[in-house]
Structure 1
Amino acid sequence: MADPYATLGVPRSASEKDIKSAYRKLAKELHPDRNKDNTKAAERFSEVTRAYDLLSDATKRAQFDRGEIDAEGNPANPFGGGFGGGFGGGGGFRPEDLRGQNPFGTGGAGAEGIDLGDLFEGLFGGGGARSARTQGPFGGGGGFAGQQRRPPPPQKGGDIAYKLRVPFVDAATRKDQRITLADGKTIDLKLPAGVEDGTQMRLKGKGQHGPGGAGDGIVTISIDKHAFFRREGDNIRLDLPITLAEAVGGGKVKVPTVDGPVMLTIKPGTSSGTTMRLGGKGFGRKDGKRGDQLVTLEIDLPEDVTELAKRLDGWQDNRNLRAKMGV
């Protein structure tokens, strides 16, 4: 995988917030639901997700920045610099360094006339010193001076993308949602605090199976619109119709909320457009608290105002309500 910073398009000095913002933007653009039959977009989506997984983990990010692990999270150099100086203080012991030399004196044979080539044949098998140079006493290539490379870990299975539509009221109250996975099994998901449209949840081990284990399930939340509630940040807005009699005389009226109806007291002489606040009736926040519900009162007159006109006959409101507008 390429450099995770380059994959997300952020500098190495990027903050956690910058990394999260870049990931969310790319994830929305590359999501499989928006790029059907586009394999390149799916591959890019997986790369972006893996890059975010590494950089969102403070420990792994620090290890990557120090060069201790690669972009896949594997050790960058598991054996350091090899076996070190070996026998001669150089780059490791090599049988060919002794060819033509006699450790017991001078010349090409030992004290008893033993050829060193035959000696190495006895030690390492039928390949002689040549075999020692190419195979090494520990198997594999490189001989004594060679570095033993650890094989790459088996690949995990791919991630599976899911899209979960959540009713407006369920999202506000964080009601558990049931989702059916690719294998046909169903699980109940607890919505996270601060859930919003586009929030993603990771289901560990719920992806495709692979030699290195199963991938993950990536669930993207889509919150449905409501017939009369509107979301405004962590708050919920509601336009509530009231009668002229309720506005003039005041009283208690029933108001719908995502938690069920409550009673709201209206003061006598309340004007249309007045906004009242119901604390703790909004969306859940990340700090565990909830926003509010803002109720805007709207006076709704009947279609037939004949009776109302009779009652107002002879009464006039002489105020200039539009004076501050210059008219």
Structure 2
Amino acid sequence: MRDPYKILGVKRDAGQDEIKAAWRHMAKAVHPDHNQGDPTASARFAEIGRAYETLKDPKKRSLFDNAARMAEAKANENTIMQQRQAAREAAMRAKAAQANAERVMEELARAAAQKAAADAANQQKTGAAEPAEEMIERIFGTQARAAAGGGRDQGFSAGAARRPETEAAIADKQPEAGKAEAEQQAAEDAAAQASAIMQPLSLLTSLVRRFTGSGTQQAPEKVPDQFATKTVSIDDLIKGSWLTVDLGEGREAGFALAAGTTEGHQVRLKGQGHKLTGMQRGDAVINIHIAPDERFTVSGFDLHTVLPVTIENAVLGTDARIEGPRGPINVTVPAWSGSDRTIRISGQGLANADGGKGDLVVELRIMLWEKPDDKVTDLMRSMKNGLFL
């Protein structure tokens, strides 16, 4: 069946008067007697009638509204799952790219250190010292030299200042000792130069980690809620029974019916929904539906029941004993009570969230005797014809 609201052209929050007026207008417009040349008129007229039957009955309307909300929630859940899956895949690709970038930076750093050590050793043998600033610019270009910042003025200048003193000391010493000392000094200078070269590389690596977010730990995303429906009885609501609901895949969840639960109420079970790898487990949301009951109907937290009364009891009044939700109850029917009369018994309905209870609403219905009575028939005929005193 299509959406009855769309069939009648009314909003979901339309009142009964608006729904009835829309049905009458459309039924008159598409009635088969007025559209004899239209072969689809009968089907359209029947569809309008079914839509009105659904929306005029509070129970049927509530069932349809709950089913529509669940369908919309399921569609939204699927869309959110797809979006989050795409986001996870994008995050994985970004993480892999960041790991590759770090590996490249490490390889460049090792290569630069090896190159610097080799150049320093060759320069020591030839006696020609290349300034560290020129070495950075030659290996990494002007951008790496600029990234070195203060290290250029401190580490490299200090190394350059030490070299003349080292060479003078070596010249004053024996050839064998001078050779060993020269090799040791060359190694120290190479280490200082490699450390200075690593400084801008470490800075670049830190920037990569910062912009890719690898240095922060984020809480895992939460799986969207899983929705289910549980049909309960009025007795379950009154007793606050413990119930279980099937969540599929062999899983069940248990919960107690708390005060304030009525038709359409939702019970949220934390951490008992879907479970996906790498994500925080979602919640299970249980939609409560009250099963039809032969004794009572539910309206909010009030319970409604029907009390049949005969004509003489409606006119003269009577005392009656009815079945209440928590046991038998005595009811007094006032004299001259018609079928539009209701008797409200306080505190006999469902428990609400504020610690109180709804009412039991007794609706009177005047009933005739099972067999015709001649005296009553004559009396009614006399009253109709105005022949009574």
Structure 2 counterpart of 1:191? 257
How far 1:270 sits from its partner (Å)?
4.0
Give the whole-Å Cα distance in 2 for the aligned partners of 1:29 and 1:239.
Answer: 31
Give the whole-Å Cα distance in 2 for the aligned partners of 1:247 and 1:35.
Answer: 49
Q: Using a 3 Å threshold, how does the CA distance of structure 1 residues 308 and 46 change in structure 2: closer, same or farther?
A: farther
Identity of paired residues, percent? 22
Structure 1 counterpart of 2:77? 42
Structure 2 counterpart of 1:177? 243
Give the whole-Å Cα distance in 1 for the aligned partners of 2:262 and 2:209.
Answer: 59
Structure 2 counterpart of 1:247? 314
Give the whole-Å Cα distance in 1 for the aligned partners of 2:154 and 2:355.
Answer: 80
| Number of positions where the alignment pairs a residue of Structure 1 with one of Structure 2 | 237
Q: Using a 3 Å threshold, how does the CA distance of structure 1 residues 135 and 43 change in structure 2: closer, same or farther?
A: farther
Give the alignment of 1:76-115 within 5 angstroms.
96-102=148-154, 109-112=160-163
* 2:218 alignment partner, one of 133, 139, 152: 152
Higher Rg: 2
Matched, 1:141 2:192: no
**Helix, strand or coil for the counterpart of 1:287?**
coil
How far 1:280 sits from its partner (Å)?
0.8
Matched, 1:292 2:343: no
How far 1:182 sits from its partner (Å)?
3.3
The answer to whether the 8 A contact 1:163-1:221 is kept is: yes
Structure 2 counterpart of 1:322? none
Q: Deviations 1:179-199 (Å, cap 9, x if unpaired)?
A: 233353544422233223332
Give the whole-Å Cα distance in 1 for the aligned partners of 2:248 and 2:381.
Answer: 73
Task: Using the TM superposition, name which of 295-304 and 172-181 deviates more.
Answer: 172-181
**TM-score between both structures, scaled by the size of structure 2:** 0.48
How far 1:228 sits from its partner (Å)?
5.0
**TM-score between both structures, scaled by the size of structure 1:** 0.56
Amino acid at match of 1:97: G
Give the whole-Å Cα distance in 2 for the aligned partners of 1:207 and 1:285.
Answer: 27
How far 1:287 sits from its partner (Å)?
0.5
* 2:371 alignment partner, one of 258, 280, 304: 304
Give the whole-Å Cα distance in 2 for the aligned partners of 1:198 and 1:166.
Answer: 11
The answer to whether the 8 A contact 1:30-1:44 is kept is: no
* 1:161 alignment partner, one of 222, 227, 231: 227
Matched, 1:217 2:284: yes
Q: Using a 3 Å threshold, how does the CA distance of structure 1 residues 267 and 164 change in structure 2: closer, same or farther?
A: same
In structure 1, runs of 5+ residues without a counterpart are 1-25, 48-93, 320-327
Give the whole-Å Cα distance in 2 for the aligned partners of 1:275 and 1:255.
Answer: 14
Over 6 Å off, 4+ runs: 118-121, 143-148
Q: Deviations 1:196-218 (Å, cap 9, x if unpaired)?
A: 33322211121223335422212
Structure 1 counterpart of 2:328? 261
The answer to whether the 8 A contact 1:102-1:110 is kept is: no
Give the whole-Å Cα distance in 2 for the aligned partners of 1:165 and 1:287.
Answer: 24
Structure 2 counterpart of 1:205? 271
Task: Using the TM superposition, name which of 95-104 and 249-258 deviates more.
Answer: 95-104
Q: Using a 3 Å threshold, how does the CA distance of structure 1 residues 281 and 45 change in structure 2: closer, same or farther?
A: farther
Give the whole-Å Cα distance in 1 for the aligned partners of 2:148 and 2:209.
Answer: 11
Give the whole-Å Cα distance in 2 for the aligned partners of 1:257 and 1:198.
Answer: 23
Q: Deviations 1:94-129 (Å, cap 9, x if unpaired)?
A: 97113542469x686244569xxx879747xx9643
Q: Deviations 1:50-76 (Å, cap 9, x if unpaired)?
A: xxxxxxxxxxxxxxxxxxxxxxxxxxx
Give the alignment of 1:23-42 within 5 angstroms.
31=70, 34=71, 41-42=76-77
Give the whole-Å Cα distance in 1 for the aligned partners of 2:236 and 2:199.
Answer: 70
Amino acid at match of 1:232: S
Give the alignment of 1:118-129 within 5 angstroms.
122=191, 128-129=195-196
Higher helix share: 2
Q: Deviations 1:141-161 (Å, cap 9, x if unpaired)?
A: 339999973143334445322
**Helix, strand or coil for the counterpart of 1:42?**
helix
Q: Deviations 1:23-82 (Å, cap 9, x if unpaired)?
A: xxx997663xx259x7x53235779xxxxxxxxxxxxxxxxxxxxxxxxxxxxxxxxxxx
**Helix, strand or coil for the counterpart of 1:133?**
helix
Give the whole-Å Cα distance in 1 for the aligned partners of 2:309 and 2:368.
Answer: 9
Give the whole-Å Cα distance in 2 for the aligned partners of 1:288 and 1:46.
Answer: 39
How far 1:301 sits from its partner (Å)?
0.8
**Helix, strand or coil for the counterpart of 2:149?**
helix
Give the whole-Å Cα distance in 2 for the aligned partners of 1:144 and 1:101.
Answer: 27
Amino acid at match of 2:300: G
Q: Using a 3 Å threshold, how does the CA distance of structure 1 residues 255 and 297 change in structure 2: closer, same or farther?
A: same
The answer to whether the 8 A contact 1:173-1:258 is kept is: no
Structure 2 counterpart of 1:238? 305
Give the whole-Å Cα distance in 2 for the aligned partners of 1:284 and 1:237.
Answer: 15
The answer to whether the 8 A contact 1:173-1:259 is kept is: no
How far 1:241 sits from its partner (Å)?
0.6
